[in-house]
Structure 1
């Protein structure tokens, strides 16, 4: 069983990712930290608690983290997850309470308690993770890996066709806080970056048969997922929209689901049209050796991934 910290900004896809991680017998969620991203920090924090209560889970601490990026204002998300951030499902206000520990401090404490045996799942902007690494750089060798939904690498048409940041080229999490992403990418911690090339591939879509399975299930979380899918379909999007962050969770549950290449990546922190772009240097000659080398997802077993999500939610 792998121990994980989940840093997230729920959001529909984060909410499903939390369900997948908490219900998976392969993972033990040691802590959840929240960050501003899809919604302001108070909303993302409450939504994380709502998911725990949906699952009847009360033993996982949830810590509120950063309410804004490191050096800039919080950008408004152009993609709406509904007025509640959870596809208008309107889960009841949580009775669970947030931890008194700040999200970055929770990351530091949890890593130190589980040194060498903890994975960070970064599902939102990388603000909390970057802050933790700046406050306590000594934790870097204690982290087994960081698996992040981060970036867009130009590996296929989905890399830009499904751009989620608020410009033609970027992915939302990096776009919101590119300075934080730059810190994490350059940290030296083993980083597995799952970008839009894989996470928003149109093969990440449920079949009608699977939708019927969810609809007929007595599980509340299955109904929750079915509602989110109907919400995005009704707005002209595909069901991959609610599955993006779950791919990072699935990648830690079963590493064979994702194939990676290694490459040198820079983060654009200044461009007007390109803010938040993750630039993969693929040149044969004159490569910038000062760029950090990270693991970049380029292919996934989408059908097996979807079945993993289905089986876990329906269990």
Structure 2
């Protein structure tokens, strides 16, 4: 059984990552902590509570943490993920309540209670995790492991020419996190899923069609580039309809920026990595984050050759298998949708 503590800024690809983890019978989602990023932290929490209820698992704790980055103003990205963070999807207001605990308390208390058992998965800015490290510097040793979606290394950024979104939202937090891991044993170093491999996880219309087939829906799920923008799903599966409406928005966004009618599922890949269900290779590196230069703030730099003379502090994913990853996502999420049934 994999025990995962997930920190998110949900987010379309965060939503698929969350649903995927909920679909796995061998995964215990210990808690979900929320940070501001794609949308504000409170909206993130509401998205997570609604998704838990949609997936029939409403009892998991959802806690809000940092609502602004450590040192710079918050920038959100509704143009990428929609006004509520989940594209065109519309979920009813959740019945569940946001936890009274702060996200930092969740991280510190739960990892202290379960040393060596919990894998951390951070698919948003690293603000909550950096604050938790300030409270408990031993967190890297107390965790079983940590998977981060973030950064781009000698690869074009998706927010500035050199910076990836999650890191650019709070570069100071990312810098603190990587510094905290310097010199730790290799098996404790974070696995970093950065743009050069997460952008290979391109969700296409055929993947949504296959998802509906795996869910056993009564009609094909067709999300096609020639259809009107904003067209809503009529799927008999509420879960398929939700994901289809969210992902259509994401595909339209990518097309707007000349990337094709696709959706990069960065966070879903990181979730598969966190529970050992997808193929990947990784390289040791010493990572630092630029926080001073106005033009380069948020740039992640990896020293693969030891030129800085500092010990490694990260394992950067250098290769993956998108076909196998999508087989895993579609099979598992489709099976969950089938179990949940039709409307």
TM-score by length of 2: 0.84
Aligned residue pair count: 304
For residues 18-71 of structure 1, what are the alpha-carbon distances to aligned partners after superposition, in whole Å with 9 as ceiling and x for unaligned?
100111123110000000001111111111111111112122100001000111
Q: 2:163 aligns with which of 145, 161, 170?
A: 170
| 2:280–2:320 Cα contact (<8 Å) kept | yes
- 1:1-315 to 2 correspondences below 5 Å: 1-77=1-77, 79-154=79-154, 159-160=155-156, 163-165=157-159, 167-188=160-181, 189-201=188-200, 204-206=202-204, 208=206, 210-215=207-212, 217=217, 218-235=236-253, 236=255, 237-238=259-260, 241=263, 243-254=265-276, 257-283=279-305, 287-290=307-310, 292-315=312-335
Say what the alpha-carbon RMSD is for the aligned residues: 1.9
Relative to structure 2, which stretch is displaced further, 294-303 or 237-246? 237-246
Unpaired segments of 5 or more residues in structure 2? 182-187, 218-235, 336-343
Say if 1:114 and 1:240 are closer, same or farther in 2 by CA, change over 3 A. farther
CA deviation profile, 1:152-211 (whole Å, cap 9, x unmatched): 012xxxx31xx322x21101111111111111112225211000000112x533362x33
> For the Cα contact (< 8 Å) 1:266–1:291, is it kept in 2?
no
8 Å contact kept, 1:232–1:238: no
Q: Which position in structure 1 is the counterpart of 2:340?
A: none
C-alpha separation between the residues in 2 aligned to 1:253 and 1:191? 14
Q: Does the residue aligned with 1:80 lie in a helix, a strand or coil? A: helix
- Counterparts in 2 of 1:291 and 1:266: CA distance versus 1, 3 Å: farther
Per the TM alignment, residue 275 of structure 1 is displaced from its structure 2 partner at its CA by 0.9
The alpha-carbon distance between structure 1 residues 243 and 91, as it changes in their structure 2 partners (threshold 3 A), is same
Does the CA-based 8 Å contact 1:70-1:179 persist in structure 2? yes
Equivalent residues of 2:285, 2:304 under 8 A apart: yes
Q: Secondary structure at the match of 2:19?
A: helix
Where does structure 1 lack aligned partners over 5 or more consecutive residues? none
Equivalent residues of 2:3, 2:29 under 8 A apart = yes
**Distance verdict in 2 for CA 1:168–1:78, change over 3 Å:** farther
Deviations 1:68-126 (A, max 9, x none): 01111112337421122111211111110011000011011111121111100000000
Structure of greater Rg: 2
1:24 and 1:100 mapped to 2: Cα distance? 27
